[in-house]
Structure 1
Amino acid sequence: MRFVLASHNKKKLDELSAILGGLGIEVVALPDDAPEPAEDGTTFEENARIKALAAHAHTGLPAIADDSGLEVDALGGAPGVYSARYCPGTDNDRNLFLLKNMEHIDECERQARFVCAICCVLPDGQEINVRGECEGEILTELHGTGGFGYDPLFYVREYDCTFGELSQQTKNQISHRGRALQKLANALSKRLK
């Protein structure tokens, strides 16, 4: 069975293909001519659903979409659904902006989590919605060059390093997206029997 990923991100496509390939699912990229839906939801779940429904409507294929971001407790959950748009510029600009907004926050109050919501629209229009989270802390400076986004600031105590310092394989196993994808794979395996 073919599913379309509501994204042009090759890393996401590779990750999804690796996890769902064992179920006999081929994951294909969203066509270049697909319109970009307005991600105007107030939750990760709403935005994932918006993208999945748009990809399904455009291609006629079952669709999978995710919406992910960082929630920092001391900032009232910000940047949240605005993680990729927290400030104009690059990932580094957003990291520096986050550090500036947290410069007066004590070390013991820097709890955060990465969140990933996935919506899968099946051929019959039914939906599977799952959520994965990974708890951590925001450091006061960047560590590591791996990953992307806020990874060099997101410290995972159990591994004593940031996402930016973890191997890709380990990150995929413990990350918010990896956890959500495993839940999706389990739900799909039950539906596709």
Structure 2
Amino acid sequence: MSIPLQQVVLATSNPGKVIEITEALAPLGWAVTPVAGLEFPPEDAATYEENAALKACFVSLSTGLPALADDSGLEVTALQGEPGIYSARYGSRATDVERNLYLLERLRDARTPDRSAKFVSAVVLAYPDGHLETYRGEVTGTILEGPRGDQGFGYDPIFEVDGLGRTMAERSIEEKRAVSHRGRALEALRTAHQDGPPARQTVTLE
């Protein structure tokens, strides 16, 4: 029988993600610790799941503890799914504000007025023995002409969630967790662990 988790290291240096993930996992009673002093491997895989696994496996092997990582992105219909897995480095822009402005410029030059988009998140929990768990969440919405709200990060200020009339950045952490792509992926993880660890699948960590 699997032993319930007690401690998890977060494979992220993003303070917004640390807060969001820590709050989401609180009901499980895990001791959640942000990673420190490690340089993550390049996120050069082809999918969100693979990029998240790269980080989670690296941190799990480095610390000897279960590690959780996510990879997420914004997929804009008029831009044929851009920026996708390149969302965090879109257009080689250095900051969230610059990336938002670049995306809006690209969208203004698009050949279609369609501003529909979706956020996608893949969450991977990696164990030192090679066990991996993968969870995915998505949320659809519309890209606005300009930013609204100051509660989020990344593309949150320009993404209005379908049916809600507000951007991700106009919602509290609790509200965002209930509807966001990452929140839905973390909810799936939380549900899987609410009665103890789920069935295991082991891979080789290198």
Same fold, TM exceeding 0.5?
yes
Deviation at 1:142, TM superposition (A): 2.0
Tell me the SS of whatever aligns to 2:82: coil
1:113 to 115, 118, 127: 118
Deviations 1:140-187 (Å, cap 9, x if unpaired)?
Answer: 222223311111110123111211222332112100111111111112
Mapped to 1, the partners of 2:96 and 2:57 lie a distance apart of 28
What is the identity percentage for the equivalent residue pairs of Structure 1 and Structure 2?
A: 45
Contact 1:37 1:51 in 2 (8 A): yes
Equivalent runs, 1:147-162 vs 2, <5 Å: 147-162=152-167
Deviation at 1:102, TM superposition (A): 0.7
Mapped to 1, the partners of 2:78 and 2:46 lie a distance apart of 19
Mapped to 2, the partners of 1:191 and 1:67 lie a distance apart of 25
Contact 2:71 2:122 in 1 (8 A): yes
RMSD: 1.9
Provide the residue aligned with 2:55 in structure 1: 51
Gaps spanning 5+ residues in structure 2: where? 1-5, 199-206
Mapped to 2, the partners of 1:128 and 1:153 lie a distance apart of 31
Greater shift in the superposed pair: 37-46 or 182-191: 182-191
Mapped to 1, the partners of 2:35 and 2:78 lie a distance apart of 36
TM-score with structure 2 setting the length: 0.86
Deviation at 1:17, TM superposition (A): 2.5
Task: Say whether 1:128 aligns with 2:133.
Answer: yes
Distance 1:144 1:180, change over 3 A: same
Tell me the SS of whatever aligns to 2:108: coil
Contact 1:128 1:187 in 2 (8 A): no
Greater shift in the superposed pair: 6-15 or 166-175: 6-15
User: Which amino acid is the alignment partner of residue 175 of structure 2?
Assistant: T
Mapped to 1, the partners of 2:68 and 2:24 lie a distance apart of 13
Provide the residue aligned with 1:98 in structure 2: 103
Contact 1:119 1:127 in 2 (8 A): yes
Provide the residue aligned with 1:78 in structure 2: 82
TM-score with structure 1 setting the length: 0.91
Name the structure, 1 or 2, with higher relative contact order (CA <8 Å, separation 6+): 2
Count residues in correspondence. Answer: 192
